[in-house]
Amino acid sequence: MTIATPATPEEARSQIVNMVREFVRRDVDPVADKLDREDIVPHDLIDKMKELGLFGITVPEEYGGLGLDYTTFATIFEELSKGLMSITGAIGTHHILTYVLTHYGTEEQKKRFLPDLASGRKRGGLALTEPGGGSDVAGMETTAVKDGEEYVINGSKMFITNGRYGDTFCLLAKTDRSAQPPHRGISCFVAQKGSPGFRVGRDLDKLGYRGLDTCELIFEDYRVPVENLVGGEEGRGFGYVMSGLETGRINVAARAVGVAQAAFEAAIRYSQQRETFGVPISQHQAIQLKLADMATKIQAARLLTYDAAAKKDRGDRVDLESGMAKLFASEVCGEVTMEAMRVHGGYGFIKESPVERYYRDAPLMIIGEGTNEVMRLLIARQLLQRPEYQV
């Protein structure tokens, strides 16, 4: 099922959000616990997400996407995460590839790659993090050496979402190891499976974020044509991907809001059903204080997230705002999922309770798309550069 073109952006947002919400209620909620428990990649749900157009949320319509705004984008990630946060991974880093191509790819690259990515015929990912690098992106060791009409790539990438079942990746590699500062020597390529030298390493067994393929990618004399150098220019890849990560942090913040909201709803429902000392525990002041703090923090996180999305929709630079949203929303998610477990007491600690899953999923948002320690540094640096704070 695809989405008919609505008359206004508001109608478009309402239509797709309602469809996503119904998809979660009908198809995701009944199987979420099983997918998490058995670490099953839900190919059937991913196929339904393709039918909904979710692989091309912000891809322009001329290239086969929905061409929707980032506020709608964030809302979709929030709604999906209320059901099972892991299914957002199938479209999260996929979106960063489509973002980079949409904004920085040549016209030929857009026409060649975006239609298949927007439809989900091709499933994308971001090959950025390295085993020994973590958040030190500029210090990456993967290299791309030009050889005639090809680049020869050697190196490995770690923690790659869609690594097993994806087939098209936004790959960063150093084309100039002597560049200063080092990030100016990093280039961006579209790397596709099917050629010698590109293989998937081990699958990673994770605490949470289960039911999604997360792998190591290994490149050994892997050759890509020069036509796959994004934008046709070396040394620009770091900037391309950092811009893409602004939207990545919006989606991670929205995921955190969704998981926190699901945990809060589970807690407030349980508090009205569980009785102690002859009354529902929701009547105890200690529980009421928890519920009030949880709801207030979630709303604050939501407003930060949608403020960043709205500024992105206006075309503004949002590295500060998206960093703040990701930092605050993910920390709130960690707090709220723990509080939800406390409201449930012993029942929150056992596998049959969904709050146990929410609690295990929460750290992904704190660590992913740049650790929160790095987020704080980036936020501080941005603030110190602002004219209004200069002395």
* β-strand pairing of 124-127 with 168-174: parallel
Whether residues 90 and 135 fall in one domain: no
- The domain of 45 spans 9-122
Whether residues 287 and 382 fall in one domain: yes
Query: Can you give the pLDDT at residue 191?
Result: 98
Of the three residues 88, 103, 122, the one that is the final residue of a domain is: 122
Whether residues 203 and 284 fall in one domain: no
2 inside domain: no
50 inside domain: yes
Residues 6+ apart with CB under 8 A from 238: 137, 138, 172, 183, 184, 186
Query: Can you give the pLDDT at residue 124?
Result: 97
Of the three residues 95, 122, 149, the one that is the final residue of a domain is: 122
Query: Can you give the pLDDT at residue 101?
Result: 98
**Radius of gyration of the chain measured on its C-alpha atoms:** 21
How many angstroms separate the CA atoms of 13 and 11, rounded?
5
1 inside domain: no
Domains identified in the chain, total number: 3
Whether residues 130 and 255 fall in one domain: no
End-to-end alpha-carbon separation of the chain, Å? 57
Whether residues 298 and 360 fall in one domain: yes
249 inside domain: yes
Q: Per residue in 7-42, pLDDT tens? A: 576 787 789 999 999 999 999 999 999 999 999 999
Q: Per residue in 289-347, pLDDT tens? A: 999 999 999 999 999 999 999 999 999 999 999 999 999 999 999 999 999 999 999 99
In this structure, the dihedral spanned by the alpha carbons of residues 53, 57, 58 and 62, taken in order and rounded to 10 degrees, is 10
Q: Is the dihedral of CA 75, 126, 359, 33 positive or negative?
A: positive
3-state DSSP call for residue 119? helix
Whether residues 92 and 17 fall in one domain: yes
Query: Taking a C-beta distance cutoff of 8 angstroms, is the pair 334, 363 a contact?
Result: yes
Partnered with residue 225 across adjacent β-strands are: 150
227 inside domain: yes
344 φ, ψ (degrees, to nearest 5): -75, -15
Query: Taking a C-beta distance cutoff of 8 angstroms, is the pair 117, 81 a contact?
Result: no
HSE, CB side, 13 Å, CA atoms: give it for residue 249. 32
> In the structure encoding, which two tokens stand for residue 372, read together?
């929160």
3-state DSSP call for residue 93? helix
Catalytic residue positions, numbered: 369
Other beta carbons within 10 angstroms of residue 322's beta carbon come to: 31
State the CATH number of the domain containing residue 37. 1.10.540.10
- DSSP string across 221-275: EEEEEGGGBGGG-TT-HHHHHHHHHHHHHHHHHHHHHHHHHHHHHHHHHHHHH-E
Q: Is the pLDDT of residue 251 over 70?
A: yes
Query: Can you give the pLDDT at residue 132?
Result: 83
The pLDDT-based confidence of 57 (bands split at 50, 70, 90) is very high
Query: Can you give the pLDDT at residue 81?
Result: 98
Query: Taking a C-beta distance cutoff of 8 angstroms, is the pair 189, 174 a contact?
Result: no
How many angstroms separate the CA atoms of 114 and 69, rounded?
17
Comparing 10-19, 192-201, 220-229, the range with the smallest average pLDDT is 10-19
The more confident residue out of 7 and 162 is 162
Whether residues 218 and 297 fall in one domain: no
Residue with tokens 């950092």: 242
- DSSP state letter for 58: S
Query: Taking a C-beta distance cutoff of 8 angstroms, is the pair 163, 200 a contact?
Result: yes
CA 222 to chain centre: 27
Query: Can you give the pLDDT at residue 391?
Result: 86
Whether residues 230 and 296 fall in one domain: no
Query: Can you give the pLDDT at residue 260?
Result: 98
Of the three residues 106, 122, 138, the one that is the final residue of a domain is: 122
How many angstroms separate the CA atoms of 355 and 108, rounded?
47
Whether residues 250 and 384 fall in one domain: yes
The pLDDT-based confidence of 4 (bands split at 50, 70, 90) is low
Q: Is the pLDDT of residue 56 over 70?
A: yes
Q: Is the pLDDT of residue 230 over 60?
A: yes
3-state DSSP call for residue 217? strand
Query: Can you give the pLDDT at residue 139?
Result: 83
State the CATH number of the domain containing residue 337. 1.20.140.10
Query: Can you give the pLDDT at residue 14?
Result: 86
212 inside domain: yes
The pLDDT-based confidence of 6 (bands split at 50, 70, 90) is low
4 inside domain: no
Whether residues 220 and 246 fall in one domain: no
Query: Can you give the pLDDT at residue 5?
Result: 54
Q: Per residue in 252-271, pLDDT tens? A: 999 999 999 999 999 999 99
Whether residues 118 and 129 fall in one domain: no
Q: Is the pLDDT of residue 1 over 60?
A: no
Q: Please state, rounded to an integer, the average pLDDT across all residues of the chain.
A: 95
Whether residues 229 and 269 fall in one domain: no
Across the range 108-134, mean pLDDT stands at: 94
